[in-house]
């Protein structure tokens, strides 16, 4: 690992770290915030997955999570959204390729050699974090937009690994949205049956979730039709799944929206860390 930067924040430390990823086959960069409590021993961790066009930096600098994490005593990890660099496949469109990994394991060329963000987030990066930083015990996962899609699908596929899951304006039903069908077709191929395990609405309907789910969605979100929160709401109601989708009047899709409710999500995850017996290592 290489330490890219380190800044004091709210009594803790915000670091940016790079490392060579065996999973993605290229150097990857992530941010990690360690609260002051980490100086006395391991702390729980909240994973934050970012959206289209973002890097590790967007939520790290705009989400406001550090103050809440310092008050509540957990770490926050901010991964990148895709592999990057020379030799990594890309596309001229903003919503495919670098910055748009969609947290899947690509099976089609030219994406398959590097675009393995699911394995990176679920296996490689957690193992690195747990080995190198004072982090252990319960883990939670959240994210925004494409990252909300990633957080929900990863948690639903790995219920023993995460104590809690929430999302900000997630792409809730990508198999039925232009923010999803295009990318799933490119990364996974034309067989739509292979797409279902990357769709939170489909996964929740099939498997449910062991606890409650928190989702915030702005009513003035300019991408609301692409996000399809109504699909997830229908599944939650149909399964009688504990959960809350809060439609926040007047909020859009920006980090002003995320930062407005990051404190709510931080406290919500912290409460579930306290009641959790920890997360295991098995995954679907």
Domain ranges of the chain: 2-277
- Express each pLDDT in 77-124 by its tens digit: 999 999 999 999 999 999 999 999 999 999 999 999 999 999 999 999
What pLDDT, on the 0 to 100 scale, is given for residue 274? 93
**Residue 185 annotated among the catalytic residues of the structure:** no
Q: Are 114 and 88 in contact (CB under 8 A)?
A: yes
Q: How many CB atoms lie within 10 A of CB 109?
A: 8
**Residue 145 annotated among the catalytic residues of the structure:** yes
**Residue 211 annotated among the catalytic residues of the structure:** no
Buried b (16+ CB within 10 A) or exposed e, 25-54: bbebbbbbbbbebbeeeebbbbbbbbbbeb
What global pTM score does this model have? 0.95
Share of the chain above pLDDT 70, in %: 97
Question: How many Cα atoms within 13 Å fall on the side-chain side of residue 89?
Answer: 17
Superfamily of domain 2-277: Alpha/Beta hydrolase fold, catalytic domain (3.40.50.1820)
Kindly report whether the peptide bond that precedes residue 110 is cis, defined as omega within 30 degrees of 0: yes
Active-site position among 221, 262, 265, 269? 221
Active-site position among 253, 262, 265, 276? 253
What pLDDT, on the 0 to 100 scale, is given for residue 283? 31
- Express each pLDDT in 34-71 by its tens digit: 999 999 999 999 999 999 999 999 999 999 999 999 99
What pLDDT, on the 0 to 100 scale, is given for residue 137? 86
Active-site position among 145, 164, 166, 177? 145
């Amino acid at each position: 690992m290489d330490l890219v930067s380190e800044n004091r924040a709210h009594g803790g430390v915000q670091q940016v770290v790079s490392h060579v990823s065996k999973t993605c086959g290229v150097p990857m960069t992530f941010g990690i915030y360690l609260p002051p409590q980490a100086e006395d021993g391991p702390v729980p961790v909240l994973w934050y997955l970012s959206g289209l066009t973002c890097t590790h930096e967007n939520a790290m600098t705009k989400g406001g999570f550090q103050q809440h994490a310092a008050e509540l005593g957990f770490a926050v990890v901010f991964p990148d959204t895709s592999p990057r660099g020379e030799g990594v496949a890309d596309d001229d469109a903003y919503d495919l390729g670098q910055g748009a990994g969609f947290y899947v394991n690509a099976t089609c060329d030219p994406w398959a050699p590097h675009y393995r963000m699911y394995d990176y987030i679920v296996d490689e990066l957690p193992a690195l974090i747990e080995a190198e930083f004072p982090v252990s015990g319960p883990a939670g996962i959240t994210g925004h937009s494409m990252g909300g899609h990633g957080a929900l699908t990863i948690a639903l596929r790995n219920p023993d690994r995460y104590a809690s899951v929430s999302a900000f304006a997630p792409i809730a039903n990508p198999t039925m949205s232009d923010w999803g069908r295009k990318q799933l077709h490119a990364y996974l191929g034309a067989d739509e049956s292979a797409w279902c395990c990357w769709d939170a609405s489909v996964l929740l309907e099939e498997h449910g979730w062991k606890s409650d789910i928190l989702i915030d969605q702005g009513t003035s979100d300019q991408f609301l039709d692409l996000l399809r929160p109504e699909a997830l709401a229908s599944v939650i109601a149909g399964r009688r799944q504990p959960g809350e989708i809060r439609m926040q009047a007047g909020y859009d899709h920006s980090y002003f929206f995320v930062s407005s409710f990051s404190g709510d999500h931080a406290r919500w995850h912290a409460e579930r860390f306290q009641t959790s017996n920890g997360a295991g290592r098995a995954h679907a």
